[in-house]
Amino acid sequence: MNELDVARHSHLIDPSLHVWTWEIPVYLFLGGMAAGLMILTAALWMRNERRSPAARWLAFAAPLLVSVGMAALFLDLGFKLHVWRFYLAFRWTSPMSWGAWILVLVYPVSLVMALAGLDDAQADRAIALCARVGLGGLARAARAFGLAHASALRWASIGAGAALGIYTGVLLSTLGARALWSSALLGPLFLVSGISTGAALLLLFRVTEEERHLFSVWDRFAIGIELLIMLLFLVGLSTNGAAGRAAAGLFLGGPYTAPFWTLVVISGVAVPFLLETLEVRLKLRMALAAPLLVLAGGFALRWIMVAAGQA
């Protein structure tokens, strides 16, 4: 008892709590952004058949970002050669199993949707590019399939995007022993944050003025909900017994107060919201400042959540 409680002589006695490093927040950020892109590009297509070339190409950003995120996840694996074992079984009680299969679902849906969403000239270029690696026929067939089932495909893209976005939060929130993560609100929080970072990424490119306006509206809508969920998240934690209060205390006066409030709430949420609102109200030209702040804030949110949850 004395050994355990007082002297802590053996380094094996205190558990090592900080086991997730940079890979996880990077994956959560990129995965969330890809989820947002899948939802937004599908929603844009639903609203409008005539889209700018940039908006059409940007649908490919989702599988690209997911791939980079999965590479980060792969680096985090303890036994890298065992990665195939994820795909031998589906354990419905394990969030990691859900995630592995959702990621598999995301690829075909997002790629087929991106191919089908291109206009004819763009599609010819994309198919020619695929033909160089011998995949021309597959790309053409995928595009034809996507165009034939466009409506179902868009809904599938929204569904897969929502599943991916929520999953990035659920991955944390199923670890109930970590008081900070033990909240069902993390799923929706990461989903809306993913939608807002996805919209911010789209705003960085040369899209039409009408699309820009639309993305800005969606971005502000997502940011508004994000702010509300963050508030509820903190309220939920603070009214949740001693462990929850201690976890909320990390953000309310504890060591993560300054990073959380300055990088996430002020710079990543409140200021871009105000800037985008002002740009619309005062009819100013859209600057890059607001989307860049949203992207930095979204990344900071994941980074701080992962770090504070292990503190």
CA distance 175 to 180: 9
Contact status: 12 vs another protein (CB under 8 A): no
Contact status: 206 vs another protein (CB under 8 A): no
Q: Tell the smallest beta-carbon distance from residue 167 to another protein (Å).
A: 32
Phi/psi at 231 (5° precision): -60, -50
Contact status: 238 vs another protein (CB under 8 A): no
Contact status: 204 vs another protein (CB under 8 A): no
Stretch that binds another protein, among 104-112, 162-170, 206-214, 260-268 (CB under 8 A): 260-268
Please identify, using beta-carbon distances, which residue of 8 and 18 lies nearer to another protein: 8
Stretch that binds another protein, among 7-15, 154-162, 173-181, 197-205 (CB under 8 A): 7-15
Contact status: 280 vs another protein (CB under 8 A): no
**Cα-to-chain-centroid distance, residue 61:** 13
Contact status: 288 vs another protein (CB under 8 A): yes
Phi/psi at 78 (5° precision): -70, -40
Contact status: 232 vs another protein (CB under 8 A): no
Contact status: 209 vs another protein (CB under 8 A): no
Interface residue with another protein among 2, 16, 93, 151 (CB under 8 A) is 2
C-alpha dihedral, 258 to 259 to 260 to 263, nearest 10°? 120
Contact status: 253 vs another protein (CB under 8 A): yes
CA distance 228 to 235: 11
Contact status: 261 vs another protein (CB under 8 A): yes
CA distance 50 to 206: 15
CA distance 284 to 296: 23
Please identify, using beta-carbon distances, which residue of 34 and 250 lies nearer to another protein: 250
Please identify, using beta-carbon distances, which residue of 5 and 49 lies nearer to another protein: 5
CB contact burial 127-151 (16+ within 10 A = b; e otherwise): beebeeeeeeeebbebbeebeeebe
Interface residue with another protein among 240, 267, 277, 310 (CB under 8 A) is 267
Residues with Cβ within 8 Å of 268's Cβ and at least 6 positions away in sequence, in order, are: 293, 294, 296, 297, 298, 300, 301
Positions touching another protein (CB under 8 A) are 1-3, 6-9, 253-255, 257-258, 261-262, 266-267, 271, 285, 287-289
